Amino acid sequence: MDTFRWISVVLSMILGLGLARVLNASALAFRLRHTARLDRIPLAWAGCVFLWQLQFWWGILELQAMVTQLTLGTFLALVLFPLMLYTAAALILPMDRRFAEEPMADLFQRDGRWALVVLAAMHLLAIAVDSAFWGVSPFAPQSLCLAVLAALAILCSASRSRRVRVRATVAYSVLALVAACWLSPAVY
């Protein structure tokens, strides 16, 4: 197995676990929708985590041309992305019946908001990796876009105001959708 295939298998396994985590938690929320007090903010963020997982999985194909020689540093940097996405997926929505016992908004404020810190760290890591490995300027448009996404995630995580969390969530969701389409090749 060549280097690229080996890397893509490792990354795909971790991404698959994260995707399963978000989908299982979302299905549980759907099943408990009649008895649980659901909240759109954590559900929107779960959708964003799902989006970034798919975007990274799609982007793995691009690595074949970029990774010509694998070093331990390159491998660790690349593995950090799906690990961070898995962590965000594991934190964003609970996977147990706490949905029925506590309002989702409270669960999100206590535990789920930490997924946003992980997402912000992932965006900042992307800026650093792009700069270190591929020579992309930290002031390039895609780097600035990732910095704004990180700031919005931190703002939503840190805010106690529901109004601020709603606005940060909407702004992040729209920008994430645009950025994921913009940063992903249309065809391979």
Enumerate the domain spans of the chain: 3-183
pTM higher than 0.75, yes or no?
A: yes
- Going by the DSSP 8-state scheme, the letter that residue 2 receives in this structure is -
Three-state SS sequence of 105-133: HHHHHHHHHHHHHHHHHHHHHHHHHHHHH
142: closest CA among 153, 121, 158, 126? 126
pLDDT tens sequence for the chain (188 residues): 577 777 889 899 999 999 999 999 999 989 888 888 889 999 999 999 999 999 999 888 777 776 667 788 888 888 999 999 999 999 999 887 676 778 889 999 999 999 999 999 999 999 999 898 888 999 999 999 999 999 999 999 999 999 999 999 999 999 999 999 988 776 65
Q: Identify which of 28, 26, 35 has the alpha carbon closest to the alpha carbon of residue 96.
A: 28
Q: What is the dihedral of CA 118, 121, 122, 124, to 10 degrees?
A: 160
In angstroms, the CA 70 to CA 115 distance is 29
How far CA 187 is from CA of 16, 117, 153, 154, in Å, comes to 22, 31, 29, 32
Cβ-contact 11, 79 below 8 angstroms: yes
**Token pair in block for residue 55:** 């975007």
Q: How far apart are CA 166 and CA 171, in angstroms?
A: 9
Compute the residue count for the chain: 188
